[in-house]
Amino acid sequence: MKSSKTSAETPSAKHHTDLLRQMLRIRRFEDVCAELYSTTRIRGFLHLYVGEEAVAVGCVTCLTPTDSLVTTYREHGHALARGIPMESVLAEMFGRTTGCSHGRGGSMHLFDSKRRFYGGNAIVGGGLPLATGVALAARFRGEATVTACFFGDGAVAEGEFHECMNLAALWKLPVLFCCENNLYAMGTALARAQAQTDLALRASSYGMPSWAVDGMDVLAVEEATQRAIETIRGHGGPCFLELRTYRFRAHSMYDSDRYRDKAEIAGWKERDPIELLTRRMLADGELTKDALKALHREVDDGIQRAVAGAEAGPLEPVEDLTRFVYAEQS
């Protein structure tokens, strides 16, 4: 007997809709951040995640609330996927005390200890030893948790990458190393800086399970992440994912982006992760055009409320500017 449920009502369809909603939220959030930056309502450094949404959503979806995350300075997507409220992230970029880092961290230093979201790290590769330490601490405490560490392909050239790969493998630490390979370390192409461009192969030399993943396909990312986490929880020791993705925007809002061929960017945009999932869901009957429009409206309305709420937050009083800068003597 056939089920009375339509394909759009199945658990699989609902899950795919949630993945699409999360990616749309990140994409629209980043577009709004670019607009706010252009009008100087957001200042400082700003590194956008447009094009890479499938990585954050596909990976973070597989983590439990007790698992930990350590990220890079391009971390808005990870923060939103982790459940940090959009208003809290925006307030941080507006420098408001209601921000997740109380307005002191800005775009590159988002932090939320309650959600075990440990940065936002402005140093290339700087999150690797932090994640290794978090995993080691969890091991000492007897916690059955996984620490997911996100970093770019440029970090693979740093010394701490090799140190952390070695220690995590040697001590069998529960770390999921997520390398977001977007082919460029700032403005330097991977092939111009790395003799071995198969980054998963390099990681496997440390004796840990490592494989490459299509980082533009959120379902492929989710499947690979789930497999890696099951491996870590079941057998101990780290895993490495090389998530092959691409950022559609420049490295940062200061970057003129003259080092990439326009045809290359256009080619990657044909594999836009949001469009890939949308087309798949429409073809499978999991989504209608009307439902898609409603989803866009829902996302846009939420962002506008978040912007208004974030800007209404208070600035830090001038007399508090030296707090947390110098240690107070007893």
- Cβ–Cβ under 8 Å, residues 68 and 145: yes
Question: Between helices 218-235 and 11-38, what is the axis angle to 10°?
Answer: 110
Residues of the chain under the 50 pLDDT cut: 1-3
Which of 59, 85, 75, 78 is CA-nearest to residue 217? Answer: 59
Task: Find the angle CA(129)-CA(131)-CA(134) to the nearest 5 degrees.
Answer: 110
Beta bridge partners of 315: 96
Going along the chain from its start, the domains and CATH numbers come out as 7-320 (3.40.50.970)
Rounded CA-CA distance 104/5 in Å is: 49
Which of 200, 195, 199 is CA-nearest to residue 210? Answer: 200
- Cβ–Cβ under 8 Å, residues 117 and 101: no
Q: Would you give the end-to-end CA distance of the chain in angstroms?
A: 75
Residue reference for tokens 């044909």: 270
DSSP alpha helices (H): ranges in the chain? 11-38, 53-60, 76-82, 86-93, 127-141, 159-170, 190-193, 199-204, 218-235, 262-269, 273-283, 289-311
How many other β-carbons are positioned within 10 Å of the β-carbon of residue 24? 21
Full strand arrangement of the beta sheet holding 147-152 = 68-70, 147-152, 175-181, 239-244, 210-214
Phi, psi of 149, deg, nearest 5: -120, 120
Question: Between helices 53-60 and 11-38, what is the axis angle to 10°?
Answer: 130
Q: Provide the pLDDT for residue 1.
A: 44
Q: Provide the pLDDT for residue 325.
A: 80
Annotate 225-288 with DSSP letters as a single string: HHHHHHHHHHH-S-EEEEEE---SS-SSTT----SS-HHHHHHHHTT-HHHHHHHHHHHTTS--
Which of 211, 215, 193 is CA-nearest to residue 202? Answer: 211
Our CA dihedral for 231, 238, 22, 28, rounded to 10 degrees, sits at -160
